[in-house]
Amino acid sequence: MSSQDKATNDLLKFAITATGDTGDKKTTNEPHAPPQRDEEEKKFLKSAIEAYMASHKSQTDELIELIDVLKLHLPGQQAEEDKDLVSELLQVAGEMCENIDVACDLHKIGGFDNIIFKFLRVEEATIRGWSANVIGSCAQNNPYCQEKLLESGIMSELLGMTQDAEHFVALKAIFAVSCMIRQNELSTQKFVELKGFDFIAKCVAKKDAKLRMKSIFLLRSLCEVFKFCFPLVANTDVVASLCDVIMTPDDQGDLIDCALSLLLALSTHDRGVVDVILQTSPSMGTRLQEAADQYGEVWPDVARNSNFINHLLKRKQQEKQ
């Protein structure tokens, strides 16, 4: 049952109970005295009415109320010290903006420039992270917000945030950038212009599994959608970082799977990648066989991609002999 249906049912149930209707159809001309309610009934009625009224607000009305509260906590305002509340409100805003119409309304009421971008620049890491999350939620599968965010110039700041010392902030920044450029050629071109691949390559090189996974997935998605990205991704730094992921025995199987998928795609589009693999990881062939045996049963693509890359490595070694 939806929250709106529950609120309506609660109020209706109370109304029926309050009439004292027991099914007796006798009528009387005596005036009907107002019911005497105890404190528990009063409390229930109050909560039922509040829930009913809230459930009948539009999502945009709720967003406007939320934004009004956030305004009170902007830097320089008296209430700005309530960091936990701001983080919670931004988290709720992100969930609300998964609705495309609500996300568009956030921009139209000035929520990007006047609220979200300002919180993106505060010192508190949690607030910065959830602010980036709101941007990602707005941009996800939303061409209107992608366009407005591109025009705002915020991508440059988000790319810088991918290098934040707090991994939570970096993860949310990657999410925001990913949503801005997804299926959007103009935003992807801006990403290239801002040397976005360099920022993401540095994330792949970090020893955080979640950060690596998000970064590799972003690179792979870009290559799949925009073929002009292949030569930009197939550089020594990215390939070396992918090799490092694969060569790490304790890395998670899904991360190995993602790294192998991208490495194979790069290897088949640019044979120079195979040379980089051999130079940076001379024992890659052995490791690929180990990975196929270790993860192949759960992740069949790991075995398939490992064998394919191993085939390319052996063929390159034979050519050099």
pLDDT in tens, the chain (321 residues): 555 555 555 545 554 454 444 444 444 455 444 455 567 766 665 566 556 556 667 888 889 989 998 998 898 776 555 788 899 999 999 999 999 999 999 999 999 999 999 999 999 999 999 999 999 999 999 999 999 999 999 999 999 999 999 999 999 999 999 999 999 999 999 999 999 999 999 999 998 999 999 999 999 999 999 999 999 999 889 999 999 999 987 768 899 999 999 999 999 999 899 999 999 999 999 999 999 998 888 889 999 999 999 999 999 988 887
Residues present in the chain in total: 321
Would you state the structure tokens that stand for residue 307, as one six-digit string?
């064998």
Q: What is the rounded distance in angstroms from the CA atom of residue 287 to the CA atom of residue 265?
A: 19
Q: What is the rounded distance in angstroms from the CA atom of residue 194 to the CA atom of residue 112?
A: 21
Would you state the structure tokens that stand for residue 243, as one six-digit string?
């090799």
166 phi, psi to nearest 5 deg: -85, 115
Cα angle 166, 235, 179 (rounded to 5 degrees) comes to: 50
CA 298 to chain centre: 26
Cα angle 236, 275, 259 (rounded to 5 degrees) comes to: 60
Q: What is the rounded distance in angstroms from the CA atom of residue 85 to the CA atom of residue 157?
A: 24
Which pTM does this prediction carry? 0.80
Closest-CA residue to 222 (of 189, 256, 199): 189
- Within 10 angstroms of residue 77's Cβ, the number of other Cβ atoms is 11
Would you state the structure tokens that stand for residue 224, as one six-digit string?
């799949």
Would you state the structure tokens that stand for residue 174, as one six-digit string?
């990657």
CA 22 to chain centre: 54
21: left (phi over 0), alpha (psi -120 to 50) or beta: beta
Q: What is the rounded distance in angstroms from the CA atom of residue 265 to the CA atom of residue 220?
A: 8
Give the max Cα distance, the chain.
110
